[in-house]
Copies of this chain bind each other. A is one copy, B any other.
Amino acid sequence: MIKKVLIANRGEIAVRVMRSCRELGIKTVAVFSEADRTSMHVRYADEAYYIGPSPSNESYLVIDKILQIAKKSKADAIHPGYGFLSENAEFSDRCNDEGIIFIGPSAFAINTMGDKITARKTMIKADIPVIPGTTEKIKNVKSAEKIITDIGLPVMIKASAGGGGKGMRLVRKISDVSSAIRAAKSEAKVSFGDDTVYIEKYIDSPHHIEFQILADSYGNVIHLFERECSVQRRHQKVIEETPSPLMNEKIRNEMGNHAVAAAKAVNYEGAGTIEFIVDDDLNYYFLEMNTRLQVEHPITERVVGIDLVKEQINIANGEKLKYKQNDLKQNGHSIECRIYAEDPDKDFMPNPGKIKHITEPFGLGVRIDGYVYEGYEIPMYYDPLISKLIVWAKTREEAIARLKRALYNYKITGVKTTIKFLEKILDCPDFVSGKYNTHFIEENRNFLISKKKSVGKFQDIAIITAFIDYITKIEKLQPEKESHKLCNNWRDFGRKKGVIRL
The minimal Cβ–Cβ distance linking A497 to chain B, given in whole angstroms, is 9
A298 in contact with B364 given A473-B502, A486-B477, A487-B492 (CB within 8 Å): yes
A22 in contact with B405 given A305-B332, A477-B502 (CB within 8 Å): yes
B363–A366 CB distance below 8 A: no
Report if A485 contacts B (CB, 8 A). yes
How far is A493 from B414 in the complex, measured between Cα atoms in Å?
Answer: 11
How does the 8 Å CB contact mask read for A9-29 relative to B, with 1 for contact and 0 for none?
Answer: 000000110011011110000
- CB contacts under 8 Å to B, within A448-502, are 469, 472-474, 476-477, 480, 483-493, 495, 498-500, 502
- CB contacts under 8 Å to B, within A390-411, are 393-394, 398, 401-402, 404-405, 408-409
How far is A401 from B310 in the complex, measured between Cα atoms in Å?
Answer: 12
B484–A477 CB distance below 8 A: yes
For residue A363, which residues in chain B have a CB less than 8 angstroms away from its CB?
15-16, 19, 367-369
Report if A301 contacts B (CB, 8 A). yes
A500–B484 CB distance below 8 A: no
Interface residues on A, range: 35 or more
A408–B22 CB distance below 8 A: yes
Report if A254 contacts B (CB, 8 A). no
A362 in contact with B368 given A394-B306, A473-B502, A498-B487 (CB within 8 Å): yes
Q: Of the listed stretches A118-126, A197-205, A352-360, name the one at the interface; the rest are far from the partner chain.
A: A352-360
The listed residue (B365, B394, B495) touching A487 by CB distance below 8 A is B495
Report if A434 contacts B (CB, 8 A). no
Report if A374 contacts B (CB, 8 A). yes
Report if A99 contacts B (CB, 8 A). no
How far is A142 from B404 in the complex, measured between Cα atoms in Å?
Answer: 68
Report if A127 contacts B (CB, 8 A). no
A499 in contact with B474 given A22-B408, A366-B367, A375-B493 (CB within 8 Å): no
How far is A467 from B179 in the complex, measured between Cα atoms in Å?
Answer: 77
| Other A-B pairs, 6, CB within 8 Å; known A23-B401, A23-B402, A362-B368 | A306-B394, A331-B331, A362-B370, A473-B500, A485-B486, A486-B495
| Pairs of residues from A and B, 9 with the lowest C-beta to C-beta distance, nearest first | A23-B401, A375-B493, A487-B498, A362-B368, A22-B405, A487-B487, A19-B363, A23-B405, A356-B491
